[in-house]
Amino acid sequence: MAAVVNPNGTLAGKVALITGASRGIGAAVAARLAMEGAKVVCTARTTDQAESRLPGTLTETVERINRAGGKAVGVKADLAQASDRERLYEETLAAYGSPDILVNNAAVTFFIPIETFPSKRFDLMMEVQVWAALHLSQLVLPKMRERKGGAIITLSSGAAIHPARPFEGVRPGGTVYGMCKAALERFSTGLASEVYADNISVNAISPGLVDTPGVAVHGLINENTKHRVSPIENIAEACYQIATRDPKAMTGRIDHAAPFLAELGITPSELI
């Protein structure tokens, strides 16, 4: 059965804000939430193909959803800039209202060994991956508290797990990336404890190794790793399931998409 948009689905009337939605995981999550009736605000830095060396644009994601009968708008924003984050929230309010769902997916990643890691790139990674997720959460939380409900989902990675001795075969350069993802996991569990009484869920979910443009540019899929590649539908479905579960039961979790779906007995839906 072909994937379709159900305007009266489980997310009808809900607003979802997804960062890093021009391609890959962000675009897939936006499509999955829109399939269930959510009004989706997609944001990224790339609106036109000429702006990036990677395939995929914000315009294409929005057109993909609207062409299928969903509702989506795009807001170009650089999440490294606090002013852009604030403008993103204001434009989301103007388009659809304050988000019921926030998906923190945006990332800027450099794989450089620690001994030569430039401070400028460290600051950029921390700003986009960690502080932007925190700041956007600060912006959406007041309305979520008023409504006594909401979901904040942050994309993590297996890189957050400590490397295991004897450290043979470890690819150098991933330490700062792992730091960012570990920080996001602790942020998620901590925030979950702070907003539990307001019926707001906060969770971190790892996609596994997914064949996306960003993964390709870093050469993360090779002969040694190709057996671990996971369908992008897994992470899109996992985000949808988190967003629609009882916030009191589904919060403060750090999961990997495939075993998470297996636990729930869920088969990922095809995407529009």
Q: Which amino acid is at 150?
A: G
Strand-by-strand arrangement of the 39-44 sheet: 71-76, 39-44, 15-19, 101-104, 150-155, 200-206, 254-256
Q: Which residue has the tokens 């897994």?
A: 234
Q: Please state, in angstroms and rounded to a whole number, the distance separating the CA atoms of residues 40 and 1.
A: 24
Q: Please state, in angstroms and rounded to a whole number, the distance separating the CA atoms of residues 272 and 212.
A: 17
Contact by Cβ (8 Å): 239, 32: yes
Query: 48: which DSSP letter?
Result: S
How many residues are there in the chain?
272
Active-site residue (options: 89, 96, 177, 240): 177
Q: What is the 3-state secondary structure (H, E, C) of 183-203?
A: HHHHHHHHHHHHHHHHCEEEE
Question: Is residue 177 among the annotated active site residues?
Answer: yes
Q: Within 13 A of 33's CA, how many CA atoms are on the CB side? A: 36
Please provide the DSSP assignment of 132-178 as one string. HHHHHHHHHHHHHHHHT-EEEEEE--GGGSPPPTT-TTPPTT-HHHH
Catalytic residues: 177
